């Protein structure tokens, strides 16, 4: 009777899976191959000589795909994608790689970092009302984050964080981890805002709000639109009202109109007047004109005042901040606005607003605290790495993409996920996200901070021999305009 091979234990994360021969662990990132734990995805090496978006060129020890050309350290950057982790962090990082650039000997410390303290910040370009500030955001019925402050032409969401990942129910943690993983890997995720809308978010793609694809990001608030285009309307129409959930603009009252000598029209806006020509709260937030809840723009107007310039025949253009909704009206004998076809001489100004609107997109920023024990994979004295990053002596990248490091204590970083190679993020079922991370600094600085000098290897050696979890690696061109990793940008 043939005895089944024993399962072997994977120590790449706190779950410590026992994995049978030919099977993968719970994370699908590590597998048992021939009684040895291997990393399922290849190590990714960026090659400056390849154009961005070039097909992956696989490297495997002895593989025929590699022509055997010389490896240029200055043109190659070993990323954390597929590198493996240092858990439980008593050992050096999976790859500590030396390379020379412009005569400077640099060291890049490469790992896949496990993040429990992480989340994403989502920017959604839309005037549509997604939901009230601080409202709970759900994915698959579970709470995964909340609505945060609205910004100029965008709605912002804060998703994830350690509370949702590990501080709630198991279902909440799993749903949060799954949503974050898909968002970071630029896959679409459907989110529902309590008391608001359902929105499909995909990094680099237009948002889909309640089934409608957003096309344009507004050119500005109603007041800003007046300031930009008042000269385009002068002499063509008697009054212009730009409908906006935030600040509705009225050209005859606005400072831009006054500078142009615009006469009064006796218009009355049913909102809270801020400064001349600027009105707050003309309607409730919604999916209608300019992010309000109205479908008829005349609903925000009161009776016209003849003593202040209203007269039969006066013309009125009402338009939203994206130019998607507009209407042209003429006052009748009773000073009631009657809708008419838009004159041809005003079509240019409507098109100009649309032309000045940028495409509506979703932006996803991964945010995580790279503190804790992963720093021990870099140096025996972890605080020295933190201080080196804060002192700009060490550059941090995520899959080769530049990151923003927050001021203050710790190493809290943010990265645009569209600048990271696709499918660079993983997970462990604790639950937590796994993100590629690289620390690059001068070799002499690395030695001074107490780095693991004995573990330093060359780029050529890494490509030839691989690492602890297997020999496979692949090359990619740099992503977009991300710059060259380790080239001094932060």
- pLDDT tens per residue, range 250-265: 999 999 999 999 999 9
Q: Cβ neighbours of residue 365 under 8 Å, at least 6 residues apart?
A: 120, 121, 122, 123, 414, 415, 416, 417
160 and 228, same domain (yes or no): no
C-alpha span between 346 and 236 (Å, rounded):
7
Domain's final residue, options 333, 355, 377: 355
346 and 404, same domain (yes or no): no
CA 472 to chain centre: 30
> 486 in a domain, yes or no?
no
Q: How confident is the model at residue 152 (pLDDT cuts 50, 70, 90)?
A: confident
Tokens of 472: 């496979």
450 and 396, same domain (yes or no): yes
> 488 in a domain, yes or no?
no
Domain assignment of residue 191, given as a range? 122-217
Angle at 301 between CA 314 and CA 303, to 5 degrees: 70
401 and 333, same domain (yes or no): no
φ/ψ (deg, to 5) at 181: -60, -45
351 and 367, same domain (yes or no): no
Q: How confident is the model at residue 171 (pLDDT cuts 50, 70, 90)?
A: very high
| Number of domains forming the structure of the chain | 3
416 and 469, same domain (yes or no): yes
155 and 235, same domain (yes or no): no
311 and 394, same domain (yes or no): no
> 53 in a domain, yes or no?
yes
> 481 in a domain, yes or no?
no
270 and 351, same domain (yes or no): yes
CB atoms within 10 A of CB 61: 13
DSSP state of 162: H
User: What pLDDT shows up at residue 52?
Assistant: 54
Q: Look at residues 280, 303, 305, 282 and name the one whose alpha carbon lies nearest to residue 294.
A: 282
327 and 429, same domain (yes or no): no
Domain's final residue, options 170, 186, 217: 217
Report CA-CA distances (Å) from 456 to 109, 320, 380, 462: 9, 59, 14, 10
> 101 in a domain, yes or no?
yes
236 and 349, same domain (yes or no): yes
Q: Look at residues 28, 16, 13 and name the one whose alpha carbon lies nearest to residue 426.
A: 28
Q: pLDDT tens for residues 285-334?
A: 888 999 899 999 999 999 999 999 999 999 999 999 999 999 999 999 99
328 and 286, same domain (yes or no): yes
Domain's final residue, options 355, 373, 389: 355
- For 56, left (φ over 0), alpha (ψ -120 to 50), or beta? beta
φ/ψ (deg, to 5) at 28: 65, 15
Q: What is the mean pLDDT of residues 64-92?
A: 74
> 483 in a domain, yes or no?
no
User: What pLDDT shows up at residue 342?
Assistant: 97
Query: Cβ(432)–Cβ(374) under 8 Å?
Result: no
> 452 in a domain, yes or no?
yes
> 490 in a domain, yes or no?
no
């Amino acid at each position: 009777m043939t005895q089944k091979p024993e399962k072997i234990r994977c120590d790449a994360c706190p779950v410590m899976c026992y994995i049978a021969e030919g099977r993968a662990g719970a994370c699908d990132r590590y597998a048992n191959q021939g009684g040895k734990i291997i990393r399922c995805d290849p190590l990714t090496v960026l090659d400056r000589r390849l154009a961005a978006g070039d097909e992956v060129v696989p490297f495997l020890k002895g593989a025929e795909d590699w022509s055997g050309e010389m490896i240029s350290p200055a043109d190659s950057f070993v990323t954390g994608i597929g590198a493996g982790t240092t858990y439980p962090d008593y050992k050096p990082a999976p790859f500590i790689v030396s390379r020379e650039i412009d005569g400077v000997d640099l060291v890049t410390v490469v790992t896949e970092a496990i993040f429990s303290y992480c989340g994403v910040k989502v920017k959604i370009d839309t005037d549509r009302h997604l939901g009230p500030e601080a409202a709970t955001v759900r994915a698959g019925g579970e709470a995964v984050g909340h609505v945060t402050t609205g910004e100029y032409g965008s709605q912002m969401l804060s998703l994830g964080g350690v509370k949702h990942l590990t501080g709630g129910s198991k279902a909440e943690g799993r749903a949060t981890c799954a949503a974050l993983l898909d968002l970071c890997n630029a896959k679409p995720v459907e989110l529902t805002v309590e008391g608001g809308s359902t929105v499909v978010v995909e990094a680099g793609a237009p948002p889909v709000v309640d089934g409608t694809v957003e096309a344009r990001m507004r050119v500005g608030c109603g007041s800003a639109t007046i300031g930009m285009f008042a000269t385009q309307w002068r002499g063509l129409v008697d009054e212009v009202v730009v409908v906006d959930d935030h600040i509705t603009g009225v050209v005859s009252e606005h400072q831009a109109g006054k500078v142009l000598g615009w006469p009064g029209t006796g218009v009355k806006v049913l909102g809270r007047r801020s400064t001349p020509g600027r009105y707050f709260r003309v309607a409730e937030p919604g999916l209608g004109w300019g992010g309000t809840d109205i479908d008829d723009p005349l609903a925000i107007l009161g009776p016209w005042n003849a003593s202040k310039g209203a007269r039969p025949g006066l013309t009125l253009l009402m338009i939203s901040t994206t130019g998607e909704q507009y209407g042209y009206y003429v006052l009748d004998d009773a000073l009631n606005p009657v809708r008419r076809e838009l004159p041809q001489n005003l079509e240019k100004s409507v098109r100009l607003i649309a032309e000045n609107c940028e495409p509506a997109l979703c932006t996803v920023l991964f945010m995580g605290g790279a503190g804790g024990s992963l720093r021990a994979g870099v140096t025996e004295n972890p605080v020295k790495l933190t201080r080196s990053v804060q002192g700009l002596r060490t550059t941090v990248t995520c899959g080769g993409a530049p990151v923003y490091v927050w001021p203050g204590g710790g190493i809290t970083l943010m990265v645009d996920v569209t600048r990271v190679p696709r499918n660079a993020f993983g997970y462990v079922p604790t639950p937590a996200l796994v993100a590629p991370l690289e620390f690059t600094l001068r070799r002499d600085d690395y030695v001074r901070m107490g780095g693991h000098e004995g573990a330093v290897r060359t780029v050529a050696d890494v490509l030839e021999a691989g690492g602890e979890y297997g020999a496979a690696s692949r090359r990619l061109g740099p992503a977009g305009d991300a710059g060259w990793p380790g080239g001094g940008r932060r």
